[in-house]
Amino acid sequence: MSFFDIAVLVVIVLSALLGWWRGFMYELFSLLGWIAAYIAATTMSDQALPYIPEAIKVESIRSAAAFALVFVVTLILAAVFAWGLSKLTKFAGLGGVDGKFGIMFGVLRGVLVVLALVWIGGLTSLPEQSWWKDAWTSKPLHQAAMYARDYLPTQTAQR
């Protein structure tokens, strides 16, 4: 087992433990919160522009600040909602089930993080290193990352 294999295992196990600790409901609504924050920021940042100080003269910076403001506020609201729902789930006596499904969610997230890192690493000279080549997990992860490339935006996938 190489350094690469150990790193893959550590990422997936830590993600699974985090999923177990937080629970499925928290993890699910946390993910949905990130999606909602992005959607809210892209659709409502123009409405937030008046709340950005006029002292910022560069319009692109003001727009980015408005985007960030809407994104962060939405993310905070979603986190509070996810926390409340998680507490409600545990209060209802479903904490054990919530934790078990949280582990599955965490493993899936860990695998996706590893795939993203393998894809990014593939853009560098890392795959030529012996510790990468000799790893048990590098070939199947590389194949999965290349398969997932078909679902990325064209500009990104061509790299």
Residue ranges covered by each domain of the chain: 3-157
pLDDT at 69: 93
pLDDT at 19: 93
The structure's pTM equals 0.70
Quote the tokens at residue 47. Answer: 């409405």
pLDDT at 81 over 90: yes
Three-state SS for 23?
coil
In angstroms, the CA 134 to CA 156 distance is 27
pLDDT at 155: 60
Quote the tokens at residue 124. Answer: 């560098």
Nearest CA to 65 out of 55, 52, 77, 47 is that of: 52
Q: Which of 6-15, 60-69, 78-87, 140-149 has the lowest mean pLDDT?
A: 140-149
C-beta separation of 102 from 3 below 8 A: no
How far from the centroid of its chain's Cα atoms is residue 7's Cα?
18
